[in-house]
A and B are shown apart, each in its own frame.
Chain A
Amino acid sequence: MSKVVGGIFSSHVPAIGNAIAKGLQGDAYWKPFFDGFAPVHEWVERVKPDVAVVFYNDHGLNFFLDKMPTFAIGAAHEYANEDEGWGLPKFPTFEGHPELSWHIIDHVVGEEFDPVTCQKMTVDHGLAMPFALSWPGLAKWPVKLVPININTVQHPLPSPKRCFDLGRAVGHALESWKGDEKIVVIGTGGLSHQLDGERAGHLNPEYDRFCLQHLATDPEALLKHSVLDIVELAGSQGVEILNWIGARGAMDVAGRGSVVELASNYHIPISNTAAATVLLENREAVTA
């Protein structure tokens, strides 16, 4: 029986890719951020997940405003990382898991979600960065990918509750999957940051701490804010927390036992961002 073994949550600032390319992980500016991945490295080495189901947001690589899905699920055999306009080195291509993708799509549509399905899909830094951080230095990713894109670009965005419920539906699908793969869910982006407007550079450690404190044990606390509340609190790109909320929802399967935090790292600043890394693990239900 397949199961969700844990969750990795990570910021995806493009500048992290530059730092990796230049080998700056030990640099004073970057070290407090990269050090946060040591527990993740130990965990993926020990647990060896086979599949990653990733909740992320596209930044204008695969989707443009001509067709902007609220939720989109990849069902491709592979996903290439392509040039996003800056000509940066590309990340290795991701191997897909179309059978699992279609199983998830079947299930979530059965639960009355209406995702766009993508048999061709390119993926940007918003998806790739947590892989480069969690499995550094590899020419081939050790996990297959199912990407789930949430619109955080064009308002109205889906509500936090809707994202959490989508995640839960994905979690139900993963629980009913016939395969025996170990599945890690990944939520990318955030935490507080704002790139645009006169308030550019806005950060909010208080809101970020609230999210980090409740993510493992009481994720529904994060659903009390509306999307606009989150824009006000966390900045216009801080709404990427929706990806974290979706991924956390996928770990939240009734009867599955508890979700525990193994590690949390919060660091200001990485570029314009309050950067965070969280590792959660699903524990089996204890039966008497």
Chain B
Amino acid sequence: MDQYYAGPRRPIPGTPVFDGAAAERGFAINAMCYSFNEDANRKAFVADEEAYMERYGLDAEQRDAVRRRDVLGMISAGGNVYYLAKLAGIFGLNVQDLGGLQTGMSTDDFKARLLAQGLTERRVAA
């Protein structure tokens, strides 16, 4: 028994844990998203999405999720949200839009749900 092996990961509902298996599964889509740090690459993607996905070797499931702007599909195909956020930016979507898309809410409803939990707690030493 390996005392340092944590055992099978316990599932946390609705919460992707981006581990080695996901990183391997998602390498191509994440590599494509990483390339979007450069403006010329963003423009090349916009000019021809299919050719750009071909260049980075996305598999059928990843391409389909990108075509459908299906965030949960991209994650399920190995996408990591830190990289996907760069792709989302090309589509004009911010992380609150992504929140709405993944929870089946409008962005406004998603924002309202966060605002409904609003609070401010402040301490300043005398």
Chain A residues in the interface with B (C-beta under 8 A): 14-15, 32, 35-36, 39, 59-61, 64-66, 68, 82-87, 153-156, 194-203, 205, 209, 226, 228, 231-232, 235-237, 260-269, 271-272
Using CB atoms, name the residue of chain B closest to A233: B12
A32 to B75, CA, bound (A): 33
Residue of A nearest to B30 (CB): A65
**Across-interface contacts of B84 in A (CB, < 8 A):** 196
The reply to whether the CB of B3 lies closer than 8 angstroms to some CB of chain A is no
Chain A residues with CB below 8 A from B124, complex form: 39, 262-264
Asked if A232 contacts B99 (CB within 8 A), the reply is no
User: Which residue, A231, A261, A268, has most C-beta atoms of chain B within 10 A?
Assistant: A268
| Nearest A residue to B105, CB-CB | A201
The interface residues of chain A, by DSSP majority, are classed as loop
Q: Is the CB of A153 within 8 A of B12?
A: no
Question: A155 and B27 in contact (CB under 8 A), knowing A36-B122, A60-B34?
Answer: no
Stretch of B36-44, B50-58, B61-69 that contacts chain A: B36-44
B20 touches A154 (CB 8 A): yes
The interface of chain B, by Cβ under 8 A from chain A, is 6, 9-10, 12-20, 23, 27, 30-31, 33-34, 36-39, 42, 71-72, 75, 80-86, 89, 94-96, 98-99, 102-103, 110, 113-115, 117-125
Asked if A266 meets B15 with Cβ closer than 8 Å, knowing A60-B33, A201-B110, the reply is no
Query: B117, A85: Cβ atoms under 8 Å?
Result: no
Report the bound CA distance from A226 to B94 in whole Å.
Answer: 30
Contact B23–A85 (Cβ < 8 Å): no
Q: Report the bound CA distance from A103 to B61 in whole Å.
A: 48
A35 to B: closest C-beta gap in Å? 8
B42 near A85 with CB under 8 A, answer yes
Whether A272 touches B115, Cβ cut-off 8 Å, given contacts A153-B82, A266-B121, is no
> Measured between alpha carbons, how far is A260 from B124 in the docked complex, in Å?
11
Q: Is the CB of B12 within 8 A of A83?
A: no
Is there an interface contact between A271 and B96, defined as CB atoms closer than 8 Å?
yes
Knowing A87-B39, A201-B110 are in contact, say whether A60-B86 is a contact too (CB < 8 A): yes
Residue in A closest to B84 when the chains form the complex, CB atoms: A196
Taken together as a complex, chains A and B put the C-alpha atoms of A32 and B115 apart, in Å, by 13
Query: B14 contacts A198, CB within 8 Å?
Result: yes
